Homo-oligomer: A and B are copies of this chain.
């Protein structure tokens, strides 16, 4: 298994495009609609936000995915099409517009939106631009890049990756683009992720693999604790790699799962790292826990703590906030068995042993926490389970970005 280039166009038979059609008006040079198309029908699956308030495209996608088949994804940024007039009608019209130029059924198109909640989507702009969007489709790295840019909102960098592995003697590729930034929380925060693969896999198994993968990647990141109305992760598998179709668990499924998880963990880390205004990627590894679930709950609580995030922003080794966040996570444990250290490329420093503060070199701690990627390592002494979650610091820029997002 290795990482390769070409993002969402890495797998055979997929083309992508991203252009500006006019959904975004306040920054009219920015791309705002993406299209991803497979040359043949795909086994397809999606996981969506658990928020009770779901954006219109999610209702449409759930219906379109009932048969487990799809061929394309159309997505816009600049407007979430959530709590907005004509929501489902316009989401269906996006599918129909894409289907019209592709030459497939509207039910074979999936749709996503991200942006402001509660405002009417400029559907005419999308319908008016869909031919140009189709004409821009290409299988190149540039096409994947354009699609990745077209789904960005406050993201400062595109998120794009691809992996290659061998399944049943055939080269199989999985690629993806994603967007994240604000609102990313363990139950998926405004994130969109579109994955494409040429692996031959049944719709039941692609769905199983996607669920297993989301649990250990996107569900283990947090930016600000808010869970969005629009979070979606969609995968399309067209089978063009020519491997024997994966229809049950076994070595082939495991190989596919390993590659999918590696891809999604990378995209998830990129999302956390690019949290709105973030200056640090924070990795929290909890080991010695009673169960993976317990380790995960505790690690999420630590990376979600606003106080912990502010301390990392200040490169302040305030480990007490980690203990405090562990304590209100809802998990039971003995604080007097907890050890904490901070680590980064600049080294590692132990700051707490058996629940009590250690004397430590503040200058060294500052050097360690000044790195971009910092890790909070927690050992619990409760058992043998471990889990890693990812988050980011909170900065002046987060406040600035979110204090006036709509205008």
Q: Which residues of A contact B (CB under 8 A)?
A: 50-54, 80, 82-85, 116-120, 182-183, 185, 187, 224-229, 304-307, 310-311, 313-314, 316-321, 323-329, 331-333, 335, 351-352, 355-357, 394-396, 398-407
Contacts and interface: CB of A to CB of B under 8 A. Distances in A.
Contacts of A187: 328
A356 B403 contact: no
Contacts of A404: 314, 316
User: Most chain-B CB neighbours within 10 Å: which of A183, A307, A335?
Assistant: A307
User: Most chain-B CB neighbours within 10 Å: which of A332, A333, A355, A357?
Assistant: A357
B53 A307 contact: no
A53 B399 contact: no
A20 B79 CA distance: 55
A357 B52 contact: no
B320 A82 contact: yes
A407 to B, nearest CB: 7
A116 B317 CA distance: 12
A402 B307 contact: yes
Task: Determine the main DSSP class of A at the interface with B.
Answer: loop
A396 B355 CA distance: 32
A174 to B, nearest CB: 29
Nearest to A229: B324
Nearest to A52: B327
A118 B320 contact: yes
A327 B307 CA distance: 24
A219 to B, nearest CB: 13
A403 B316 contact: yes
Nearest to A310: B402
B323 A229 contact: yes
A226 B314 CA distance: 18
A321 B395 contact: no
Nearest to A183: B307
B85 A356 contact: yes
B52 A333 contact: yes
Nearest to A182: B307
A116 B321 CA distance: 9
A359 to B, nearest CB: 10
**7 A-B pairs with least C-beta separation:** A117-B320, A314-B403, A53-B327, A118-B357, A310-B402, A51-B327, A227-B328
A357 B314 CA distance: 39
A74 B406 CA distance: 49
13 contacts: A52-B333, A52-B335, A53-B335, A53-B355, A116-B318, A117-B318, A118-B351, A229-B324, A316-B406, A317-B406, A395-B399, A396-B396, A398-B399
Contact of A323 (B83, B85, B356): B83
Given A51-B327, A54-B327, 13 more contacts: A52-B329, A53-B327, A53-B355, A83-B335, A118-B319, A118-B323, A118-B357, A183-B324, A225-B304, A225-B305, A306-B306, A394-B399, A398-B399
